[in-house]
Amino acid sequence: MFTRFAVVSLLLAPMLAACATDRAERDAAKLALYRAHAGAPVRSFHFFGRLDSWTSLDDRTVAVWTRPSEAWLLDLDGTCNGLEFTPFIGLTSSAGTVSAKFDKVLVRDGSPMRNLPCIIETIRPLDVKAIKQAERGEHDATQAPADQPSGT
């Protein structure tokens, strides 16, 4: 029994390592894309209590959409435990404004009533159109038939 387990483990280990490497490379590329399309840091942005969507880019960076055409890159002050895996986040705000160095990203830690706060270090506006265009172009490039001649 142990031998069978050892053999299966030895066969699966390289595949799991390859998957982890592929994911790490995709995550790094996505973070680089968002950083490339982020503007200069701003002190704050208007927030009316509802996120349109959000995406974790690593354990200290998150992109939040406050409207379909308005998004912000939030760099956090240190590692934000659980950010990459949580299904829900929230933002603190004062009078409808989220401010760098004061407000926080709230990450649900698994318990229904407790959120872990992660301080927002910097806020940068994102060029949503450029990001969508770059992601579409990337998707189109991976979907193009290999035998199609270039330039057609």
Evaluate whether residue 17 is within a structural domain: no
Evaluate whether residue 75 is within a structural domain: yes
Q: Which residue has the tokens 């002050």?
A: 77
From first to last of the 152 residues of the chain, give the pLDDT tens digit: 555 555 555 555 555 455 456 777 888 999 999 999 999 999 999 998 889 999 999 999 999 999 999 999 999 999 998 888 888 899 999 999 999 999 999 998 766 666 789 999 999 999 999 999 998 886 555 555 544 444 44
Domain containing 74 equals 40-132
pLDDT in tens, 114-137: 678 999 999 999 999 999 999 888
The C-alpha atoms of residue 55 and residue 133 are separated, in whole angstroms, by 17
Evaluate whether residue 23 is within a structural domain: no
Evaluate whether residue 53 is within a structural domain: yes
Evaluate whether residue 56 is within a structural domain: yes
Q: How many domains does the chain have?
A: 1
The C-alpha atoms of residue 40 and residue 38 are separated, in whole angstroms, by 7
